[in-house]
Structure 1
Amino acid sequence: MQWIKLFDSEAEAKSQVPLTRSKAVMAAGREICVAHTPAGLFAVENLCPHLGDALSRGTTNYLNEIICPWHSYRFHLITGEECKGRTRPLTRFPLETREDGVYVQVPSTAPES
């Protein structure tokens, strides 16, 4: 596992990913979705496990869920679970705010294509 710097500060992260929004970022060859809810910032895989749409095109809600823009599947950002259990959970990545920026922890090697 390795830590990759995504933003220079928490303020920069929150300005680039406003509340109720999400954004795709690259980290160690992986496309990660950074989502922002009232509970903070979260990092998950960017592909919906249902049919593969980019979660970064969706929004978040007050329940700390990210909503897929295609079929409106809702995934809890803390557990990764889909709200009705219709598909596998999201892969989540630890996100950490440090003095010099916001970092995500990802596996050392990129997934096979």
Structure 2
Amino acid sequence: MKIKLLLVEDHHIVRRGLVFFLKTREEFEIIGEAENGEEALTFIQTERPDVVLMDLSMPKMDGIEATKRIKQYDETIKILILSSFSEQDYVLPALEAGADGYQLKEVQPEQLVASIIAVHEGNA
């Protein structure tokens, strides 16, 4: 069974690149995209992703607040933060908000795949 993904990223070109790459992988099914945390919250009320790939810095609602609210709504949804920020000032609040994993955007594609699978399996 494929891992159902929701991609939450405000930069269109980054989101399109993620979609383009992840669609080449048979492990994943992209069931939705969102530009910000508000859209992500609306989405999960009608669809249930297995894993949310979440940016941190977004307009309207950032990734930390969206992570908190998604986990309040359904704690079984796994959340992998995908961010360009490596400082603990970003990592720790994300994990405290309920994120199941944290991955830097500079990661190699195969490592991103491994991280998504690890988060899905609860091994992050």
Structure with greater helix percent? 2
The TM-score, its normalising length taken from structure 1, stands at 0.31
Structure with greater strand percent? 1
The TM-score, its normalising length taken from structure 2, stands at 0.29
Higher relative contact order (CA 8 A, sep 6+): 1
